[in-house]
Amino acid sequence: MSASIDIDTGPKIMGDDGQFHATDEEVDLSDTPIEAWVALFFFWALGLTVFYQFFTRYVLNNSASWTEEIARYLLIASVFTGAAIGVAKNNHIQVDFFYRHLPHVVCRALSILTDILRCAFLGAATFLTWQMMERLGSYKMTIVDLPMNIVYGVCMFGFAAMFLRSLWVAKVHWTRGYSVLEKPATEMSDR
């Protein structure tokens, strides 16, 4: 026996005048972190560069040689700054299989160890990128006459932002008493 569904019980979108009366929710960007704006800037710069490359190659039949290299570096910049957003939301790839089957005490210890190792890795990556920048010195890009340290500086900014966000995530996990690994349905909303 199937239940009958009354389609008139849902929200009314079309009025009696035959016009749609749907309204969008107000957009609030006030809690958007700075690294998201930086990643958006790099993404749009990448899009404009690739469009310029397409235009010069296929419309003008005279490809701009610098666009290939700059597009590659803008993609790197988008990834490294965007990865900080993933750390802040705590939604990077994780394996939570063992957390479903191990005792709570072991899961808690593993999640604390995960937070410590993540912070240590990202802090070390920031420091090692700084050291690499010092060793490169005045090394230039291949086609464009700019220092290669601009690219590595953006990578270091991304690592530093990920490191700071990982410290914040560890603090939230410590304050709550559990991490997303222990309770996967939890979100990082304690900004």
- 6-10, 106-110, 185-189 — most confident range: 106-110
Residue 91 and residue 165 in contact, taking contact as beta carbons nearer than 8 Å: no
With pLDDT > 70 as the criterion, what percentage of the chain qualifies?
A: 88
* Average pLDDT taken over every residue of the chain: 85
Model pTM?
0.77
Q: Give residue 8's pLDDT.
A: 59
Q: Give residue 72's pLDDT.
A: 93
